[in-house]
Amino acid sequence: MVLHNRVSADELRKRLELETFKRVTISFYQYAKIEDPQAFRDQLYESLFKLDVFGRIYVAHEGINAQISVPEHHVDAFRSTLYAIGFLNGIRLNVAVDDDGKSFFVLKIKVREKIVADGIDDPTFDMANRGKYVDAQGFNELTNDPETVIVDMRNHYEYEVGHFDGAIEVPSDTFRDQLPMAVDMLKDQKDKNIIMYCTGGIRCEKASAYMLHHGFKNVFHLEGGIIEYTNKARQQNLPIKFKGKNFVFDDRLGERISEDIISQCHQCGEPCDTHTNCLNDGCHLLFIQCEACAQKYDGCCSDACKEVHALPEEEKAVLRKGVDKGLMFNKSRRKRIK
């Protein structure tokens, strides 16, 4: 029984590049009661490994959250495997909007305390009492009303490269911080229509329940998030109100929704919405970088990181010892980083 990957990342990436078939990037989630997350995780890993599924899946007592890559010729078998699980039967599968098939190269399934880290410790909070789903057409209709409040429940670096027209940003790096911030920001608008959205629906669904828990009345959340909205709007020839790129948490780092570029390179300030990670292994800062700056800084976020990146591997290894990765991985807001 195979329950964990034993192959190096380099080898797995090489295997991915050599694949002769197409892959489909899919995401899904479900809030449900899982009695034994570890046992569920192991059974799921064994089933998906046989289908050559790659991706990142979190399992907890409160449910499952998954972003995966499935071989095109195994999609039907994957769907059947998933639907054979009681609480996942018929679950909506969000298919990527802009997909190169290279989103993941390995399968990782982890047991977590929660599928979305929310910081909620109130025993009276109930996910069963959540906002109303709104689909693409309903979203467009509700947002035509100037009294409707649109709330983006993603991190600031996601909002920066793309968001819905008129959406309010809840400026934070973490979902757990955003929840109380959203309540405070909207405390004087409890009787208005409030629509919450996120990438695939998992965060805004929990956020809608949190808002209702705090006395808000007319709370909606976008069904399937930005991904489902875009697919449905295109299928139904509806106006697409999302501008820019939809940030995604895989190797693509984004999928193009509209041609609008609403953000700037963090190094020179030119229009750009391409996220990258600093190539200095002691940094890996996530930031926006244009092609000109990528050449100028060799894919790094600063001259200092460029100098380190150019050093022999032995010297870089010495420098990495003792580095505070919590600081180096910080995604905090900034205009320029050179």
Catalytic residues: 198
- Sort residue 166 into left (φ over 0), alpha (ψ -120 to 50) or beta: left
Q: ∠50-52-53 over CA atoms, to 5°?
A: 110
CA–CA separation, 92 vs 222, rounded Å? 13
CB atoms within 10 A of CB 72: 11
Residue 257's alpha-carbon distances to 142, 162, 225, 244, 282, in angstroms, are: 21, 8, 13, 6, 33
In terms of Cβ atoms closer than 10 Å to its own Cβ (0-12, 13-18, 19+), residue 173 is middle
Q: Where do we find the tokens 């929990």?
A: 206
Report helix, strand or coil for 305. Answer: helix
Are the CB atoms for 82 and 41 separated by under 8 Å? no
CA–CA separation, 272 vs 286, rounded Å? 14
Nearest CA-CA partner of 31 in 120, 136, 152:
120
Nearest CA-CA partner of 104 in 27, 209, 215:
27
Report helix, strand or coil for 299. Answer: coil
β-sheet with 23-31: strand ranges across:
94-95, 23-31, 63-71, 54-60, 107-111
